[in-house]
Chains A and B, each alone.
Chain A
Amino acid sequence: MQDPNQPRSNDKSHMPANSALYEKVIPAALVLMGILTVALILFAAFVLLGVIHL
Chain B
Amino acid sequence: MSIIQILPFISTAIMLGFTIYVLQRYFVRRAPHFLFWGIGLAMFGAGSFAEVYLSLAWSRAVFIIWYLCGAILNPAWIGQGTLYLLVRKRWVHIVTGVLILASLISAGLMLSIPINDSAFQLGMPISQQYKAIIPAASFNVILIPTIIFGTDGLILLVGGALYSAFLFWRKRVLPNRVIGNVLIAAGALSVAFASELTGLGFGQYLYVGELVAAILMFIGFLSAARPQPNETPQAVPATAD
Interface residues of A (CB under 8 A from B): 11-16, 22, 26-27, 29-30, 33-34, 36-37, 40-41, 43-45, 47-48, 54
Contacts and interface: CB of A to CB of B under 8 A. Distances in A.
B189 A15 contact: no
Nearest to B195: A40
Contact of B175 (A14, A27, A36): A14
| Category for how many chain B residues contact A | 20 to 34
A30 B169 CA distance: 10
A24 to B, nearest CB: 12
Overall SS of chain A's interface: helix
Contacts of A33: 158, 162, 182, 185-186, 189
A5 to B, nearest CB: 14
A26 B174 CA distance: 13
A27 B199 contact: no
Nearest to A52: B200
Contacts of B185: 33
A15 B230 CA distance: 13
A54 B173 CA distance: 43
Interface string B198-218: 011000000000000000000
B173 A22 contact: no
A34 B151 contact: no
A52 B162 CA distance: 27
B240 to A, nearest CB: 16
